[in-house]
Amino acid sequence: MLDSIRHDNVLELRLARPPVNALDPKLVAALREAIAHAPAQGVRAIVLSGPPGMYSAGLDVPTLLTLDRAGMIAFWNDFFGLVRTIARSPIPIVAAITGHSPAGGAVLAIFCDYRIMARGAFKIGLNEVQVGLTVPEPIQVGLRRLVGPYRAERLMVAGAMIETEEAVRIGFVDESLEVAEVVPRAIAWCQKLLALPHEAMSSTRRLARADLHAALDRADVGEDFADAWFAEEAQTTLRALVAKLKAKTAA
């Protein structure tokens, strides 16, 4: 479910959980472990990618709907542990967004150092409201940091999904390229950064990202998220979504 590909001192971690790289407990754990252990393996930067057309469809809702409250709290704490691992990584991480990236997929990208997205009718966004969920405060902080408070509010309250060029225009992502060029450009961006004096670059990066660290360190959202997840509105909306997806697949 996760392919590791070395490009000299850059490690590409490619999500490989067909059909849509949905984030279930096993993939979250594997990704968190791979990122945490990379520096000890001589890796100096990471590219987080997916196959052409799909970065990650976000949380694996059908699987998560089978969890009880304790299981859901444990998963959410693990997911936030992954987000913290990305945000606090001592080495740069670039999101090579090779296709659609809703909800949890967008969250992973938001907390990376840089975002490069495939051109075309691909969409990215925090669409949690559309499925009956609240966007947690630390994730809101991450999006505000990229696009500004008011624009972030409008996007999140509407649960909006936007296409690549609009995402570039407002600063949600940094660059757009043809899908085949996304990963090579991400690797090149890493190599350019790594050519800078190491200690100066790393310490400046750490200071510049301190606001993300603080927002995530304050987060204790497991119970709150479970309350929202098991609320009647969210359960009704989520189960209707799963039923719709199953019907579409059957057709």
CA 238 to each of CA 25, 150, 225, 235, 247: distance values in angstroms, whole numbers, following the listed order: 18, 28, 14, 5, 14
Average pLDDT on 18-46 reads 97
Among 17, 13, 14, smallest CA distance to 1 is for 17
Beta strands in the chain (DSSP E): 2-7, 10-15, 45-49, 53-54, 93-97, 99-102, 114-118, 123-125, 162-163, 175-177
pLDDT beyond 90 at 182: yes
pLDDT of residue 200: 98
pLDDT of residue 250: 74
pLDDT beyond 80 at 14: yes
pLDDT of residue 245: 81
59-116 pLDDT, tens per residue?
Answer: 999 999 999 999 999 999 999 999 999 999 999 999 999 999 999 999 999 999 999 9
Exposed/middle/buried for 3, CB within 10 Å: 0-12, 13-18, 19+?
exposed
Q: Could you tell me if 113 and 194 are in contact, meaning their C-beta atoms sit under 8 angstroms apart?
A: no
pLDDT beyond 90 at 44: yes
β-sheet with 45-49: strand ranges across = 2-7, 10-15, 45-49, 93-97, 114-118, 175-177
d(CA 97, CA 175): 10
- Which residues are CB-neighbours of 109 under 8 A, at least 6 positions away? 48, 55, 95, 97, 101, 115, 124, 173
Task: Compute CA 207 distance to the chain's CA centroid, rounded to the nearest angstrom.
Answer: 22
CA angle 127/234/214 to nearest 5° reads 55
pLDDT of residue 222: 77
Q: Could you tell me if 117 and 168 are in contact, meaning their C-beta atoms sit under 8 angstroms apart?
A: yes
Tell me the domains of the chain and their CATH numbers. 2-180+189-194 (3.90.226.10)
Q: What is the pTM of this model?
A: 0.95
Average pLDDT on 9-30 reads 97
Q: How confident is residue 188, by pLDDT bands cut at 50, 70 and 90?
A: very high
Average pLDDT on 168-197 reads 98
Q: How many helices (H) and strands (E) does the chain have?
A: 12, 10
Copy the structure tokens of residue 63: 């699987």
219-237 pLDDT, tens per residue?
Answer: 677 788 899 899 999 999 9
d(CA 238, CA 61): 7
Measured between its terminal Cα atoms, the distance across the chain in Å is: 26
